[in-house]
Structure 1
């Protein structure tokens, strides 16, 4: 096989072939659906994936929370990276860099295009870049899945009354997000959602230590708990960590 060859759509047969001859798959795909995941779980393969756990993506059905849960049940190590746009599929001895997401559209319906690479130096560079994605990403676990499910349960498919729509973007109302959270996650996010600006600092939340102490008088480590909850909210796709330490951005407007 040539060290570089083109991969036009449909390419699901090539994907299946690469999976069959590999022990490992590392992939990056902003959108994931079950039709894409079904190819993976047919094989005995170790999987690490990076996607975007953004609530609006699931509301718009661009991504499928069932697919995320199916990958977790399969044993995949899943992560979420805000702003991800790359689509990369890295196998033992090959990599596919493409425009295609891990969806039915990406694999065989849309007009996608990519390249298949087998040069050792290029593969090593892709592995390095993928490791950097993992380091910059948030872990996805079953708690993250449960939050998205609670959120979806509060947005009936037959009505748009819980949503606002601007052009092609769907924005989930903050009260729906808050109602989908529980405990500390809910109380901290209520404060974040009330900020007039989308970028905020850790100190802004520390200003509410007395408020949290009254809600949870048994907790004597309020600042540590706030930092832990910010990690949870990042994992849920509700905030992202900014480059400046102690600074965060609210993602759901």
Structure 2
């Protein structure tokens, strides 16, 4: 089975699937997430042992984040009575996720994707799922048997934390390397493939008595974008939906309509119609709450600096949205302005 991050059946989904019934889970990845919630280990009721193989290179800032992450994991696994072991190998590059089961079967994902939010869900990564338990055992033991250093236990993690206290991470005000060859890169025209007949829409998410929490993430590869019982006339495949939060008005992420109109089939559903939207700005969608980009401040800026309208009617207000409409058509000029604004932030936020 080939795995990629272009659909909801991405690496994160598949890793959760192979860990779901596993007695033993092995994570082999040079880069490790800082997000303790990336995998909800508390839901893995069969789990008895977790092994992580990663790098911990000297003079690298990665040392600080990984040690704190491992300490958090020890807290979780101690409460669950799950055995936890950490191996350090600074001379490997491969990424493998292994689940081993009570009946001696096993599954493994061999992939380019690191154990990070971006690697498992956002980056353009590819992997293959295998279920040959004998070969998987050879791979796992072949990696662990060649590791130079003893397994890290919690005592060793505490020693590392003490050393971190003695040597706090330095504040580096400027990047010592000034060379930036990316300034010479020539961007492909319309690299996202936005169609010339695409319409830009402003779409609210959430309701006034249930606001989107600032901790919410809008970084999935795609999402179901729901509309009211009135069919969203005019919206078509290929259109661009600029989604913002009801209440605080922050732009959450930007989506391209990637399906025909669908229906939940539930006659009591308040929002029965929906399109699948491809997320064009997942990095921004993960950090939207800290960006202070609202539909209001962007409308005001655009109107103050351009002799152009934001809506085809020329009224240039969001009045219908404030009165409960579930979409508002924008001019191509304003839509492209918002798209380029968020894409620029998205590129700056791109992580490993």
Give me the TM-score of the superposition, normalised by structure 1.
0.53
Q: Is residue 18–residue 98 contact of structure 2 (8 Å, CA) maintained in 1?
A: no
State the Cα distance separating 1:26 from its structure 2 match. Answer: 1.8
TM-superposed deviation, 1:148? 5.1
Q: Does the C-alpha gap of structure 1 residues 167 and 48 become closer, same or farther in structure 2, counting only changes over 3 Å?
A: farther
- In the alignment, which residue of structure 1 is the partner of 2:99? 91
Distance 1:131 1:154 in 2: 30
Partner of 2:12: 12
Per chain length, whose mean CA-contact separation is higher, i.e. which structure has more relative contact order (CA < 8 Å, sep 6+)?
1
1:52 paired to 2:55:
yes
Report the CA distance between 1:137 and its aligned residue: 3.4
Asked if 1:125 is matched to 2:138, the reply is yes
Does the 8 Å contact 2:55/2:90 carry over to 1?
yes
2:78 pairs with 1:70: no
Other structure's SS at 2:22 match: coil
Bigger share in helix: 1
Question: Cα offset for 1:166?
Answer: 9.7
Structure 2 SS opposite 1:137: coil
Verify the 8 A CA contact 1:31 1:62 in the aligned structure 2. no
Q: Does 1:116 align with 2:129?
A: yes
* Cα distance in 1 between the residues matched to 2:166 and 2:38: 25
Change (3 A) 1:130 1:97: same
State the SS of the aligned residue for 1:83: coil
Cα deviation per residue 1:103-136 (whole Å; 9 max; x = unaligned)?
1111112111111001234223223313424x53
Q: Which residue of 2 aligns with 1:30?
A: 30
* Offset from partner CA, 1:66-121 (integer Å, 9 cap, x none): 22212333241111112121211111221111111111111112111111001234
Alignment deviations for residues 40-71 of structure 1 (CA, whole Å, 9 cap, x no partner): 523232111111122444x1589533222123
Q: Distance in 1 between matches of 2:57 and 2:92?
A: 11
Residue segments in structure 2 that go unaligned for 5+ positions in a row: 78-82, 101-105, 181-352
1:26 and 1:122 map into 2 onto residues whose CA distance is 15
Matched-pair contact (CA < 8 Å) for 1:37–1:71: no
Q: TM-score if structure 2 supplies the norm length?
A: 0.39
Q: Rg bigger for which structure?
A: 2
Q: Which residue of 2 aligns with 1:41?
A: 41
**Could you tell me how far apart the structure 2 residues matched to 1:33 and 1:104 are?**
7
Listed as ranges, the matches of 1:1-253 within 5 Å are: 5-9=1-5, 10-35=10-35, 38-39=38-39, 41-42=41-42, 43-44=44-45, 45=47, 46-57=49-60, 59=61, 63-73=65-75, 74=77, 75-92=83-100, 93-133=106-146, 135-141=147-153, 142-147=155-160, 150-151=163-164, 154-156=167-169, 158-159=171-172
- How far residue 27 of structure 1 moved from its aligned partner, in angstroms, is 2.2
Count of aligned positions:
161
* Cα distance per residue 1:207-250 (max 9 Å; x no partner): xxxxxxxxxxxxxxxxxxxxxxxxxxxxxxxxxxxxxxxxxxxx
Q: Cα gap change, 1:148/1:111 in structure 2, threshold over 3 Å: closer, same or farther?
A: farther
